[in-house]
Amino acid sequence: MQDTPRGARLHIAIFGRRNAGKSSLINALTNQDIALVSDVPGTTTDPVYKAMEILPLGPVVIIDTAGIDDVGDLGALRVERTRQVLNKTDLAVLVIEPETGITAYEHELAADIRKRSIPIVAVAAKSDLVTPGQVTAAGWSAEIGEPVLPVSAKTGQGIEELKRAIIKNAPDNWEGPPVIGDLLNPGDTAVLVVPIDLAAPKGRLILPQVQTIRDILDHDAYSVVVKERELREALANLRGKPRIVVTDSQEFLKAAADTPDDVWLTSFSILFARYKGDLETLVAGAKAIDKLKPGDKVLIAEGCTHHRQADDIGRVKIPRWLRQTAGGELSFEWVSGGDFPRNLNSFNLIVHCGACMLNRREMLHRLSVARESGVPIVNYGVLIAYVHGILPRALAPFPSARLILDE
Amino acid sequence: MQDTPRGARLHIAIFGRRNAGKSSLINALTNQDIALVSDVPGTTTDPVYKAMEILPLGPVVIIDTAGIDDVGDLGALRVERTRQVLNKTDLAVLVIEPETGITAYEHELAADIRKRSIPIVAVAAKSDLVTPGQVTAAGWSAEIGEPVLPVSAKTGQGIEELKRAIIKNAPDNWEGPPVIGDLLNPGDTAVLVVPIDLAAPKGRLILPQVQTIRDILDHDAYSVVVKERELREALANLRGKPRIVVTDSQEFLKAAADTPDDVWLTSFSILFARYKGDLETLVAGAKAIDKLKPGDKVLIAEGCTHHRQADDIGRVKIPRWLRQTAGGELSFEWVSGGDFPRNLNSFNLIVHCGACMLNRREMLHRLSVARESGVPIVNYGVLIAYVHGILPRALAPFPSARLILDE
């Protein structure tokens, strides 16, 4: 059984001072059901992610911020790392150390979290050392502005209450739209064009393809999964027209030639641009490509440090297309992983990857930073569709994004 | 991008005495391309698996047996653990420590490996401490009966030669048949019935489903992926008959009702019984179910320690079906993970899981141990099809297995 992808999990970050009991608390939370937990060590600058299930909420990922402690209690680096975690946090658990109680540190954390409209669940850890009465007596709930749950990682006391509080406080809009299901009626056929190239690992499909097939099943429709070469044949073998054809961006022109004009045709990248972020903002960003002039500055941001191929999309292909459009040399900067500059003012365009390793919250955060800086932002999928002239057709299922394109 | 499943990777085990330089060698091998390497820590009794690519061989998994060293140089436990690794090894790398050279220890290892017809690649590690001339002068190649490659993890010398030797010595039959591709002609349609139950993690398909979709694409055919409820509708929407319908075992009866009699209908479990092992042996094992008598002993073997649900297939459902067939109580024993008893003589039947976490070599080994003991062995998928009376139809695409059933 394969795991739910991290990006599709509610992100719960555990904050608190060093030795507040964060790690024991995470162990108590996740060891409830060891079979459903997996450790995914991040890079050296990343926190550790623990995947687990909290029913009926579903798959979540617990972000262990203990790594931030190693940076020390003060300083710009700690602030920066906390900020990076907050950018992807859907719900924050604030752990209070009972002997220290609530200090300026906890107040600042809570303020930082609230500033981003992230719901907070506050706990007093190591509650085997204090009684619930003491927690109340300490007036922490009033002071921090949240009910403080006494929790003992040691005895397990309060862990179930903590889970219930997480379920109750989880934001209900964290998931965004379905991948494709809202475009389909029950019983509809969706045709998925999946080229098999050398980069596709043996025996696998890439994650967006799997998520799309699954979402179609979840919405009582079904899919025809076909390579570009057999698309025409597969369409001819259907008695009814499919509701939609979704293709890998690389094969858009081939798919367009084989798909009747009155059938929706879009790309996996467009579907995921909407699923992960905000299609309207990205389409507006695409239109800014035409305004690029020689000498302009372009930021290319990737969510992960993947293995680069010879004709890497972010390093080679996109710079080439943009240079051609601008009619001259451009100045490129690249960032990857958790890095995303706070100051974007010097850029004329931001091009972001498909964000398969980021959650929706982090992608929305990056989009809003770009909007606030007044810098247009587009992603790989929307950019590819735009520079190949296929964006108008690919946006047919999404009228509000199409309107922005036509404006 | 998702990784190739471990079971579909060539298994390369690194053997050698403690401090022979195994771990540095593995680092040198895998750090060649850090982006393609992932660490999968095993349980405490398991070795560590490192997934990587060796082109043109494709995805491999390096088995680091360093954990076995912790057991100590002697004793039954060490022998047992080495045996467990050998049972899944497609190719063995034998690491010789240059100062110690070849002793009885290396000779025994080599003999153990050869007994199982596993190809050996021998290396002298830490070759920055010795010269290639010294390796030759030491006569190791003649002594161990294999060319000994001088390799330095430190300088990287010999690492490329080692990869070439691995590619050259890799057995060419390790993969077995395709999942489904040999049953299809180019342009054929395969219909895959994929029920979505509560156990299916959000946003995912289970691995056998993904591998089947991919194998269909790899063979220039295409698939219709549908839930059991929409199967009739999906079939009616096809102009031509599909070549085959593959269903989750749970929905076989429903799928049989909706699939025309002249269309092949089988289950994912049957496909994977053949892909992972030997369908004929398992079908012969299924027939032994009818001979079970009250009091008989049944071994139930699972390849992993998965999260058990209330109506767990191996703990609850299969014992219930077998008791019903036997008309009385049976004596069950369970083993899981790397454990598989060497002495099977006391059992009347072995029931094995689908082996999604085992590689083909290990499953074939288990089948041969059962055959040598004269104990019938069946797996979950074949057993489910048999007790539900659907095995004859499910075997229609596999005439030689069908013959065994009808004998």
Query: Domain containing A44 — which CATH number?
Result: 3.40.50.300
**Domain CATH number, residue B203:** 3.40.50.11420
Last residue of a domain, one of A169, A202, A230: A169
Is B29 part of a structural domain of the chain? yes
Q: Is residue B176 part of a domain?
A: no
B285 assigned to some structural domain: yes
Q: Cα separation of A28 and A188, whole Å? A: 45
Question: Do residues A293 and A313 both lie within one domain?
Answer: yes
Q: Which residue of A has its CA nearest to B6?
A: A203
Nearest alpha-carbon partner for A390 in A269, A297, A302, A210: A269
**Residue A175 domain-assigned (yes or no):** no
Asked if residue A43 is part of any domain, the answer here is yes
Q: Is A76 exposed, middle or buried (0-12, 13-18, 19+ CB in 10 A)?
A: exposed
The CA distance from B405 to the nearest CA of chain A, in Å, is 30
Chain A residues whose beta carbon lies within 8 Å of the beta carbon of residue B305: 35
- B32 lies in the same domain as B165: yes
Single-letter code of the amino acid located at B258: D
B318 and B386 part of one domain: yes
Alpha-carbon distance B41 to A39, whole Å? Answer: 10
The answer to whether residues B267 and B287 belong to one domain is: no
Classify B81 as helix, strand or coil.
Answer: helix
Assign B267 to helix, strand or coil: strand
Q: Does one domain contain both A123 and A220? A: no
Would you give per-residue pLDDT tens digits along chain B (407 residues)?
Answer: 356 777 788 899 999 887 788 888 888 887 644 333 444 443 334 567 788 888 777 788 898 887 666 555 556 777 777 888 898 899 999 999 888 888 888 998 999 999 988 999 999 887 776 666 676 667 888 888 888 998 888 888 888 899 999 999 988 777 888 999 999 999 999 999 999 876 667 888 888 899 999 999 999 999 999 999 999 999 999 999 999 999 998 899 999 999 999 999 999 999 999 998 899 999 999 999 999 999 999 999 988 766 566 678 889 999 999 999 999 999 999 998 777 888 899 999 999 988 877 889 999 999 999 999 999 999 998 999 999 899 999 999 999 999 999 98
How many domains, in total, are found in chain B?
A: 3
Report yes or no on B185 lying in a domain.
yes
Whether this model's ipTM surpasses 0.90 comes out as: no
Task: Give A93's contacts (C-beta < 8 A, 6+ positions apart).
Answer: A12, A13, A14, A15, A25, A120, A121, A122, A123, A162, A166
Are residue B91 and residue B138 in the same domain, yes or no? yes
Q: Are residues A236 and A253 in the same domain?
A: yes
In a domain, A58, yes or no: yes
Task: Show which of residues 273-312 on chain A sit within 8 Å of chain B, judged by CB atoms.
Answer: 305-308
Residue to substitute from A204, A228, A312, interface B, most B β-carbons within 10 A: A204
- Say if residue A14 is in the same domain as residue A150: yes
Residues A77 and A190 in one domain: no
Helix (H) or strand (E) holding B201: none
B1 in any annotated domain: no
> Is the CB of B8 inside 8 Å of chain A's CB atoms?
yes
- Domain span at A108: 6-169
Residues of A within 8 A of B354 (CB-CB) are none
Q: Indicate whether B14 and B138 sit together in one domain.
A: yes
B261 shares its domain with B289: no
Classified as helix, coil or strand, B38 is strand
Contact A335, A363 (CB under 8 A): no
Task: Say if residue A379 is in the same domain as residue A249.
Answer: no
